[in-house]
């Protein structure tokens, strides 16, 4: 007999209302600080988007995008930097093939995993590539087209402001992600097992 696995929150027990209040308070607090710390980046990208007749976004949307960018760069830096262009194209092809032929999806996923693992073991020739370009290629190669498309919207702005400014922004993103990880552990760590 299969037993259902329930999610239990340590601080107040199952379905603890306190947990959700803590998450909301943490998110509100973090967005307030992030909005203040990232304001110049928001203003630059907002100005670019408006000058190019693109829809503006809210400050929390910008903050979340930059957080997501920082988390991905922080968590997958080795994978991103070790994926040569030809391997990225091959993995992207396998993702498209998988979408067209769902009957062989399991085989294609296994091949993608084996190719990606092999690529990590091969010495990288891509160290001088732009971090965001590399991230977008890596996301596409892994079938994460929605995220890749969203980050690709930043690329014309990054190209316009130049590589030094782009590196500064990506460093800020990684720093904000590290801060988010540490802050969330302090604010929410009591709810998760150590």
pTM score over 0.75: no
Which of these, 148, 142, 144, lies nearest to 108 by C-alpha position?
142
For residue range 111-135, list pLDDT tens digits in order: 767 766 666 655 444 443 458 888 8
Residue closest to 141 by CA, chosen among 183, 101, 100, 94: 94
Provide the residue ranges of all domains of the chain, joining segments of one domain with +: 31-188
Question: From CA 97, how far away is CA 177, in angstroms rounded?
Answer: 34
What is the H or E stretch that residue 75 is in? helix 59-75
Q: What percent of the chain has pLDDT over 90?
A: 31
pLDDT(53) > 90: yes
Q: Residue 112: which residues within 8 A CB-CB, separation 6 or more? A: 91, 94, 95, 98, 142
Per-residue pLDDT tens digits for 178-193 = 888 888 888 887 776 6
| pLDDT for position 81 | 60
């Amino acid at each position: 007999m299969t037993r259902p696995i329930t999610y239990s929150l340590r601080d107040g027990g199952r379905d603890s209302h306190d947990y959700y209040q803590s998450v909301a308070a943490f998110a509100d607090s973090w967005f307030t600080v992030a909005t203040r710390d990232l304001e110049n980046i928001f203003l630059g990208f907002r100005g670019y988007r408006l000058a190019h007749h693109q829809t503006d976004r809210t400050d929390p949307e910008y903050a979340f995008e930059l957080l997501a960018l920082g988390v991905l760069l922080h968590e997958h830096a080795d994978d991103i930097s070790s994926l040569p262009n030809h391997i990225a194209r091959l993995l992207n092809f396998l993702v498209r093939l998988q979408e067209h032929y769902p009957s062989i999806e399991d085989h294609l996923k296994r091949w993608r995993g084996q190719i990606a693992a092999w690529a990590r073991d091969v010495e990288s020739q891509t160290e001088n590539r732009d971090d965001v370009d590399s991230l977008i290629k890596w996301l596409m190669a892994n079938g994460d087209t929605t995220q890749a498309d969203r980050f690709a919207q930043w690329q014309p702005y990054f190209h316009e402001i130049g590589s030094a400014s782009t590196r500064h922004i990506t460093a800020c993103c990684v720093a904000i992600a590290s801060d988010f990880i540490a802050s969330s552990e302090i604010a929410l760590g009591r709810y998760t097992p150590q």
